[in-house]
Amino acid sequence: MAVNIDLEGRVCVVTGASGELGRVISRTLGAAGAKVALHFFQAEEKANALLEELQSLGVAAMTVQADVTEMESVAAIHNAVEAELGPADVIVDNAVIQYTWVPVLEQSLEDFESQFRSCVMHNVHMVKAFAPGMIAKGWGRVIGINTECAMQCFETQAAYASAKRGMDGLYRVLARELGPHGITVNQVAPGWMISDRVRADGTESQPDYEAKVLLNRRGTDQDVANTVAFLASDLAEFITGAFIPVCGGSVMPTI
């Protein structure tokens, strides 16, 4: 018997859909039959190009601009998605603010604050906007993109790792609070993945990093998207509260 990831009729909202991981996640969800809302903040041209690509393949999709660090802006995402695609079944919180990594003593306070807002408050805003509708249906998926850095906590990662660890705490609480309503809450934690930008730069090979990966290679953006699609599907209906590294074993959660 064949087993397929079937998201036919599901409405998925992907934040940061115009980004390196977001584009592949959105394509993969659409290929599985989902309707996809493509959130962007500033990269409107990339979002529109992705929209055209998905629509050309017969995927019901839309774009929506918002600042995920602001509750009012996220509420507008909810209203726009519900009006055009219908109530959301799946939210994929992928967006994050980019910044320069430097030692703690050199990192600006603003960087710590922005990372907290994009990694923690972003997720708070999204569940406040979308979880009530999922509760009403008795079904939903909350999927957050975390990182292996949350476990590594290497030098210069302080703002990023501390915010992502805060996100982890939030997701564990949400798993407890939303589970009784039939909503799963899980995190996907990529390693240093190969994306379109890396392919264009020709920087796929990173021997120092690969030497610490149990599979002796870097993973790809598609590896992340495949895990997201699985968690969004009925195949993962009994998985919640999980932190799933997609990093070839460079980090391994312990019991």
Q: What is the pLDDT of residue 1?
A: 74
Residue 255, in any domain of the structure: no
Report pTM. Answer: 0.97
For 42-76, how does the pLDDT look when each residue is reduced to its tens digit (9 = 90+)? 999 999 999 999 999 999 999 999 999 999 999 99
For 111-170, how does the pLDDT look when each residue is reduced to its tens digit (9 = 90+)? 999 999 999 999 999 999 999 999 999 999 999 999 999 999 999 999 999 999 999 999
Catalytic residues: 160
* CATH number for the domain harbouring residue 47: 3.40.50.720
For 5-26, how does the pLDDT look when each residue is reduced to its tens digit (9 = 90+)? 999 999 999 999 999 999 999 9
Residues 6+ apart with CB under 8 A from 223: 190, 193, 246
Residues 6+ apart with CB under 8 A from 187: 143, 144, 145, 146, 167, 168, 171, 242, 243, 244
Res 180 pLDDT > 90: yes
Residue 169, in any domain of the structure: yes
Residue 254, in any domain of the structure: no
Number of domains the chain contains: 1
Residue 197, in any domain of the structure: yes
Residue 10: Cβ within 10 Å count? 22
Residue 2, in any domain of the structure: no
Domain range for residue 32? 11-246
With tokens 């584009």, the residue in question is: 23
